[in-house]
Amino acid sequence: KKASHSCFSLLHLTHFHSLKRSKLSFHLLFPRTRLEISDFSTLFQFPSLCAVFCCGFFFEFYSVSSSPFMFITFMAVLLLFFMLPLSISASGDAFIGVNIGSDISDMPGSTEIVSLLKAQSIQHVRLYDADRALLLALANTGIRVTVSVPNDQLLGIGQSNATAANWVTRNVIAHVPATNITAICVGSEVLTTLSNAAPILVSAINFIHSALVAANLDQQIKISSPHSSSIILDSFPPSQAFFNRTWNPVMVPMLKFLQSTGSYLMLNVYPYYDYQQSNGVIPLDYALFRPLPPNKEAVDSNTLLHYTNVFDAVVDAAYFAMSDLNFTNIPIMVTESGWPSKGDSSESDATVDNANTYNSNLIRHVLNNTGTPKHPGIAVSTYIYELYNEDLRSGPVSEKNWGLFYANGEPVYTLHLTGAGIIFANDTTNQTFCVTKSNADPKMLQAALDWACGPGKVDCSPLLQGQPCYEPDNVVAHSTYAFNAYYQKMDKSPGSCDFKGVATVTTTDPSMAIHTPT
């Protein structure tokens, strides 16, 4: 989890912390030519080599055959050749999953966790280990599970094929097919948090993969290793991004592995930290996926692509960083993203409203298969950090408050997911209301009330003297009426209950205290 983060600037990204395709082997036989391509993916890493190959192959073919049928056959094969790299990135719809941490003083039991997952219609989870009890509880649920090799086990696995095989036997083979394990994370943010293990990271991945191959599970279980976005340097504009050159001896063979096995680059993306560390350069709306006017969008001066949110810009920076190393067909999966609902005095934007807005908009953005400006429509499946608040985590207050739920299963806030699908059944949008914050400045409340009753086009006539909602006659009560009326009028869309920070969403009906529309 977020052991390292990046600071994303609209002008420049400065990082503050270090933080299968199956091998294709076939023969194309022609009268005087026998060509074997043992790995197309290698060829596609070098476009010029690919072009030379295709042109040379065409002239060789043309010189030996004038058959129209053979010519058409060749062109069909060539077309397929060029389409193959796209098939990985474009396949399937994006999904939303959740991370399940365990730094909780009153950790729910495995059956309780699975009951919550079922109740919320959550179909994808990522574990930070391979907890046996939880894997058994997940059996026969159909929930797709990503298990992890913890960082403290990485050195042993990376130095011993036998140790890796034993790990796979105990934590994977013992549970499939009853438990639907679909991926293995080998370590987490190793390059930026456990640099002494970096040299053996790829060995660990290969050893785990060999064990899956031996068990005939390599086709259904993908392997990768989550990275902090801080390994990407010079990240805005995204088109000039590149991976920290220090890690090229690790990144290049890892990307070759991901490419050859049809796996994905796993990336942890935290716009909260990018915003927090930007010293005001990044607008809050840009970090929260809120709508921006065209003149506020960030534009990549090299590609002229427009960016409306930090999340897409970071993901595209990763795509461009891979392209810098000549890898252009590896999809990205975001293994962690979220927003804290509470913080200390230096974390004023770690609020319930911002966490709700970010995660609701993130879920909608992902499930709409929006993709990114560089790869529109290409799935970027994402795991939200995280299912539960982890009260035992060290560090600032925000570290303990990333969860969607408390340990007792109660939601920290109610997600606004109208039209986003059935995931998270705690979507009780019809039971949410907009009210004034208890500590709101009266002058700001009055200004917001004036806006709601004026440009906001709320019918505030019930607030006039002698009308049903005049009493209590104070700015807090009247503002709550107007704010909630606007919120309901806007179909409770994310961001419609903000009013420059003086309003918040609640599940408590304010009409219990004052008259207000429902």
Mean pLDDT of 243-249: 93
Rounded CA separation 406/389 (Å): 6
Rounded CA separation 308/329 (Å): 24
Question: pLDDT band for position 266 (50/70/90)?
Answer: very high
Annotated catalytic residue within 36, 336, 399, 471 = 336
Q: Is 386 a catalytic residue?
A: no
Rounded CA separation 317/340 (Å): 24
Q: Which residue has the higher pLDDT, 424 or 336?
A: 336
Facing residues of 505 across strands? 434
Question: pLDDT band for position 39 (50/70/90)?
Answer: very low
- Calculate the average pLDDT of the chain: 81
Give the sign of the dihedral formed by CA 97, CA 102, CA 103, CA 104.
Answer: positive
Residue 36, Cβ density class (10 Å: 0-12 exposed, 13-18 middle, ≥19 buried): exposed
- The pLDDT, as a whole number, for residue 490 is 82
Same domain, 401 and 443: no
Mean pLDDT of 362-385: 92
Q: With contact defined as beta carbons under 8 Å apart, do 262 and 21 qualify?
A: yes
Question: pLDDT band for position 24 (50/70/90)?
Answer: very low
- The pLDDT, as a whole number, for residue 75 is 58
Q: Residue 495: is its pLDDT beyond 90? A: no
Same domain, 442 and 353: no
Same domain, 388 and 452: no
Rounded CA separation 515/468 (Å): 8
Same domain, 455 and 353: no
**Which tens digit of pLDDT belongs to each residue from 68-79?**
555 555 555 555
Q: Residue 502: is its pLDDT beyond 50? A: yes
Ramachandran quadrant class, 331 (left: phi over 0; alpha: psi -120 to 50; beta: rest) = beta
Q: Is residue 447 part of a domain?
A: yes
Same domain, 281 and 379: yes
**Which tens digit of pLDDT belongs to each residue from 86-103?**
433 445 789 999 999 999
Give the up-direction half-sphere exposure of residue 248: CA atoms within 13 A in the CB hemisphere: 10
Q: Token match 């090229």: residue?
A: 248
Q: Number of folded domains in the chain?
A: 2
Instruction: Point out the domain boundary residue: 350, 385, 405.
Output: 405
Residue 130: which of 89, 174, 163 has the closest Cα? 174
Write out the two tokens for 178. Answer: 């009853």
Q: Residue 319: is its pLDDT beyond 90? A: yes
Same domain, 307 and 395: yes
Q: Is residue 501 part of a domain?
A: yes
Q: Which ranges constitute the DSSP H helices of 154-222? A: 154-158, 161-168, 190-193, 201-214
Same domain, 388 and 506: no
Rounded CA separation 241/238 (Å): 5
pTM of the model: 0.69
Same domain, 374 and 480: no
Q: Which ranges constitute the DSSP H helices of 236-277? A: 248-261, 271-276
Domain that holds residue 453: 433-512
Identify the weakest region by mean pLDDT among 327-336, 353-362, 402-411.
402-411
Q: Token match 């090299």: residue?
A: 302
Question: pLDDT band for position 418 (50/70/90)?
Answer: low
Q: Is residue 24 part of a domain?
A: no
Q: Token match 């200390």: residue?
A: 344
Residues 6 or more apart whose Cβ sits within 8 Å of residue 123: 95, 97, 142, 143, 144, 423
- The pLDDT, as a whole number, for residue 84 is 43
Annotated catalytic residue within 36, 60, 189, 297 = 189
Q: Is 189 a catalytic residue?
A: yes
Same domain, 387 and 473: no
Q: Is residue 197 part of a domain?
A: yes
Same domain, 314 and 381: yes
Q: Which residue has the higher pLDDT, 34 or 171?
A: 171
Same domain, 337 and 239: yes
Give the DSSP H/E element, type plus range, for residue 286.
helix 284-287
Residues 6 or more apart whose Cβ sits within 8 Å of residue 134: 100, 110, 113, 114, 127
**Which tens digit of pLDDT belongs to each residue from 302-316?**
999 999 999 999 999
- The pLDDT, as a whole number, for residue 435 is 84
CATH number, residue 114: 3.20.20.80
Write out the two tokens for 200. Answer: 């053996």
Rounded CA separation 35/378 (Å): 33
**Which tens digit of pLDDT belongs to each residue from 167-221?**
999 999 999 999 999 999 999 999 999 988 999 999 999 999 999 999 999 999 9
Q: Which residue has the higher pLDDT, 243 or 470?
A: 243
Q: Is residue 288 part of a domain?
A: yes
Give the DSSP H/E element, type plus range, for residue 74.
helix 68-90
Tell me the percentage of the chain whose pLDDT exceeds 90.
53
Q: Is residue 69 part of a domain?
A: no
Q: With contact defined as beta carbons under 8 Å apart, do 309 and 271 qualify?
A: yes
Q: Residue 355: is its pLDDT beyond 50? A: yes
Q: Is residue 85 part of a domain?
A: no
**Which tens digit of pLDDT belongs to each residue from 337-349?**
999 999 999 999 9
Q: Which residue has the higher pLDDT, 289 or 511?
A: 289
Same domain, 355 and 493: no
Q: Residue 226: is its pLDDT beyond 60? A: yes
